[in-house]
Amino acid sequence: MVVETKVDLPLIAILRGITPESILEVAKVLVDAGFNKIEVPLNSPQALESISLLVTEYGTKEFELGAGTVTRIDLAEDVLATGANLVVTPNCNTDVIKMAVGAGCLVYPGVVTPTEAFNAVHAGATNLKLFPISMVGLGGMSAMKSVLPAHINLYPVGGIDAKPDSMAPYLNKGAKGFGLGSQLYKPNMSIEEIKERAKAYAKIFSSLSIR
């Protein structure tokens, strides 16, 4: 099934610990809430199978679907073999960035310093994941934003809650969106809890972004 979304919601759902048995049920809840970026970290059980299921179900025309915790070229190759179009890394590995970008993939590498940020940009990164944002800080993000190319979007990751006072400071300083991990999804959450959290994030982000 190919589903098309109408609005790009710049929130990346990080489904660490998801299994192939639950991926499509959880993904439907997220998609219904407006999410179109879904990341399955490679240290999740049978992560490549979950990614393949996502790609088959939704396609990559209107969705960004792929893997997180991609730390080596061989892992990136495995991800691309599923048909995924998204590679997210926890670090700045320029070899991984160049290879994935060369294969036509969107790449969000993790950075915490200006040097890492510019190395990632020069390697062809699509956007930058500021991870963990606690190490970068609001001032650090603002400073990086002021010197990076305008087309590079910043996505703080780590401890972002579905609350205006958690999201607004970063958006006001130029963040494009956020990567959402355990505050959005944990394997022991009920589908109803995931649904409510997804809706809350989408609602609060949308209200802040149109102020």
For position 7, what pLDDT does the model report? Answer: 61
* CATH node for 11-209: 3.20.20.70
Summarised one tens digit per residue, pLDDT across range 119-160 is 999 999 999 999 999 999 999 999 999 999 999 999 999 999
For position 6, what pLDDT does the model report? Answer: 45
Tell whether the model's pLDDT for residue 78 goes beyond 80.
yes
Residue 98 appears among annotated catalytic residues = no
Residue 28 appears among annotated catalytic residues = no
Catalytic residue (choose from 37, 39, 64, 173)? 39
Q: State if pTM tops 0.75.
A: yes
- In this prediction, what percent of the chain has a pLDDT beyond 90? 95
For position 162, what pLDDT does the model report? Answer: 97
For position 209, what pLDDT does the model report? Answer: 83
210 vs 51, which has greater pLDDT?
51
How far is it, in rounded angstroms, from Cα 136 to Cα 143? 10
Q: Structure tokens of 99?
A: 């290879």
Catalytic residue (choose from 37, 64, 116, 129)? 129
Q: Structure tokens of 77?
A: 């190759």
How far is it, in rounded angstroms, from Cα 129 to Cα 106? 12
